[in-house]
Every structure is written in C-alpha cells, then in structure tokens.
Amino acid sequence: MKDNARALRHRLAGACEIVLAAIAGSLLFAMMTLTFVDVVLRYFFDSPITGGFEVTEMMMAVLIFAGLPLVSRHNEHVTIDAFDRFFSFAARRALHVLIHLVCAAALGGMAWLLWRKAAGFAEIGDVTQTLKFAIAPFVYLMALLTLATAVVHVAAAFGDPPVERAGTDSGVAPL
C-alpha cells in the first residue's frame, strides 16, 4: 500500500512537472516571438505592437513562478557547500530537512501575501494601463505556484535523503 501511494505521488509529480515545463517553455517561446515581431514592426514599419511590454511583463511573471516548483523539485538552487565536508551525513541530512522546512514556511508566507495582494487587486478592479488586462488573475496564479513550490519543499524535507555524488563530500554538486 505504501509503495502504491509513493508511485502515485511520483506519477502526479511527474505530470505536474510536464505541465509546468510545457507552460514555461511555451511562455518563453511566446515572449521571444513577441519581442522579435515587436522589434521588426518597430524598426521597419515604425509600428510597434500596442501593449507588447505589458504582455511580456505578465508572461515573465508567470514564467518565473512556473519555474520555481521545477527548480525546487530538482534541487537546482545555487548552493555553497564549502563547509559540508566538516559535517557528518546525519548532520547534513538534518540541515537538509531544516532548510527545506524553512523554505516551505517562507514560500507559504509569500503565497499568503500574494493571495491577499491579488484579492486587493480584484476588489478594486485593477487593470494594466494599456490593454486593460485584469491583474488579479495573474497574481492569484503566482500565489498558487508559490504555494506549489512550498509543497515541493515539504516533500523534499520528508523525502529521501540527499544522495552523495561522486567526487564530492556533500549531497550537493560543487559550483
């Protein structure tokens, strides 16, 4: 039963990762295309895309927040492991758990603040200046993606211990 639950969590996490990666990749491609077309229209036809900057801003925000769970799930954050060799594996494991729980708490707090901010935007009906896009849905999405990242850190804290990598004394690859 425990193995079935673990396999289900693994499949669900893999599916979420595929969706987030597809969203991030699509947004990056769309931003690149929009910028290219905007530059061509601006310099050759003196007619930039109206609101192109606003659309790019919104896509960038979603791209960044969609990438957070992916980076956290693969433990690809910038780390400094200069002192790891002075600690035993048990101490590094305890530090690993503590760091992930602190990150989860901080991200949970950020998600709550973002949710409150989105509610404020929704209440006053705040929109972008040129295209009049509602801002609240984007901030709600950012809050949900931040909360998803917090969940990833909780799962990492209670998941398998960090793996020792060849050629290093720690569970983190050297910079």
User: Does 167 reside within a domain?
Assistant: no
User: Does 20 reside within a domain?
Assistant: yes
pLDDT of residue 163: 61
User: Does 116 reside within a domain?
Assistant: yes
Cβ neighbours of residue 126 closer than 8 Å, sequence gap 6 or more: 120, 134, 135, 136
Chain center to CA of 37: 27
pLDDT of residue 6: 75
Residue 138 sits in which domain range? 2-158
User: Could you state, in chain order, the average pLDDT of each consecutive group of 10 residues for the chain (175 residues)?
Assistant: 76 87 94 95 92 92 93 85 84 89 96 98 94 95 96 88 52 47
Q: What is the DSSP letter of 86?
A: G
Q: Using DSSP, state whether 163 is helix, strand or coil.
A: coil
Q: What is the DSSP letter of 87?
A: S
Is this prediction's pTM over 0.85? no
User: Does 174 reside within a domain?
Assistant: no
Q: How far apart are CA 93 and CA 137, in angstroms?
A: 39
User: Does 147 reside within a domain?
Assistant: yes
∠ at Cα 54 (59, 106), nearest 5°? 50
pLDDT of residue 175: 42
Residue 144's nearest CA partner among 115, 164, 171, 102 is: 115
User: Does 171 reside within a domain?
Assistant: no
User: Does 172 reside within a domain?
Assistant: no
User: Does 15 reside within a domain?
Assistant: yes
